[in-house]
């Protein structure tokens, strides 16, 4: 039978603070990686080529499953079409986050 050492409140607080710090670093790295995937996606027209997710995983030194989860999370935002991978523009403040290109407001031409 194992005996557990009782921890002081200070030890409990320090341990919880360490976990919060470590998890915040992981969340920051995840956000940065996802934003870089979005930029890469926009520049290269999608993730349709074979092995793209594996190459991205090697670039950021993570598992291909991590990139797969990141791509799934990005697709959930509605920023990209799940079928063709094209970027969908968004209008802020709209209840519907995805907007078709024909629905975008037309910019007025400046008077000369």
- Better pLDDT: 94 or 12: 12
Tell me how crowded residue 64 is: count the other CB atoms within 10 A of its CB: 14
Judged against a pLDDT cut of 60, whether residue 110 lies above it is answered with no
Q: Which residue has the higher pLDDT, 16 or 86?
A: 16
Domain edges within the chain: 9-89
Q: DSSP states of 45-105 as a string? A: T-S-STTHHHHHHHHHT--HHHHHHHHHHHHHTTSB-TTT--B----TT-SSS---GGGSP
Instruction: Give per-residue pLDDT as tens, 24-48.
Output: 999 999 999 888 888 887 777 666 6
Place of tokens 């209840």: 95
At residue 16, does pLDDT exceed 80? yes
Average pLDDT over residues 47-73: 86
Q: What is the CATH architecture assignment of 9-89?
A: Orthogonal Bundle (1.10)
Contact between 104 and 89 (Cβ < 8 Å): yes
- Please tell me the predicted confidence (pLDDT) of residue 88: 62
Question: pLDDT tens digits, residue range 63-100?
Answer: 999 998 998 888 887 776 666 666 665 555 555 555 45
| Mean pLDDT to the nearest integer, 93-112 | 52
pTM: predicted TM-score of the whole model, two decimal places: 0.62
């Amino acid at each position: 039978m194992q005996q557990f050492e009782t921890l002081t409140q200070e030890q409990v607080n320090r341990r919880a603070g360490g976990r919060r710090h470590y998890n915040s670093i992981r969340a920051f790295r995840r956000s940065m990686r996802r934003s870089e995937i979005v930029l890469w996606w926009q520049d290269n027209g999608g993730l349709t080529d074979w092995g793209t997710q594996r190459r991205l995983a090697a670039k950021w030194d993570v598992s291909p499953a991590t990139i797969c989860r990141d791509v799934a999370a990005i697709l959930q935002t509605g920023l990209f079409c799940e079928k063709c991978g094209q970027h969908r523009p968004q209008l802020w403040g709209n209840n519907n986050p995805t907007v078709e290109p024909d629905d975008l407001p037309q910019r007025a031409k400046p008077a000369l």
